Amino acid sequence: MTKLDLAKAIGVHRTTITHWVKSDKIHPEPKQQGKPQLFSYRKVMMELGREPKEFYTLIYLSDVTCNEFTPEEELRLLKNFCVGNGWRFKIIIDSILSANSNELFKALLSGCVERMIISSMSSIGFVEFKYLKSLCDEKLIPIIPLQQITNETLDFCKHAILVVKKLAGTNEEILEDIRNEFCK
């Protein structure tokens, strides 16, 4: 995060951040040429002896889906993906009848979102998506589309199936147990 973002997240003026860096109280990330000086929020909070905010992955779902999954299937897939990666997550479900876009932008501005997963690009209006992408770029929040997760998850499952088949060999009892476990 930038010096200004860090100052806002901690609740101090940006000149305080500059003073802390000069006095060696906190340390920025290695500077990249042509890029602003960036800070790791967690690292700075540890250097200050403060408790950091809890960060999470933001899952933004629409109750209107334009792919092969129902909203419930999408939600289950995305929850499992986050859990499998060890990510905490928060879910915002956007409905035609709700005003959850405001909740989405509040979450992104909170400084606690590490990454964002969007279920269906077509469920978000073009202008809203442009603003959303611009805000995520500014806050260095990567946007992960559902399709990318689906492909990664399917590749992982195919690999897991090959490994299980190799380990189980022709033992039908083991293969049946595994099928039953995965198809719950």
Residue of 96 and 86 predicted with greater confidence: 86
Give the residue-averaged pLDDT of 76-83.
Answer: 84
This model's pTM is above 0.95:
no
Position 28 scores a pLDDT of 92
At the topology level, CATH places domain 56-149 in: Rossmann fold (3.40.50)
Question: DSSP 3-state assignment of 91?
Answer: strand
Position 27 scores a pLDDT of 93
Which distant-in-sequence residues (6+ apart) come within 8 Å of 95 by Cβ?
A: 62, 63
Going from the C-alpha of 120 to that of each of 63, 90, 94, the distances in angstroms are 10, 17, 11
Q: For the chain, how are helix, strand and coil distributed in percent, rounded to 5?
A: 55, 15, 35
- Domain map (residue ranges) of the chain: 3-48, 56-149, 155-182
Nearest to 123 by CA among 151, 89, 149, 146: 146
Indicate the average pLDDT of the chain.
78
143: left (phi over 0), alpha (psi -120 to 50) or beta: beta
Which distant-in-sequence residues (6+ apart) come within 8 Å of 114 by Cβ?
A: 55, 56, 57, 87, 141
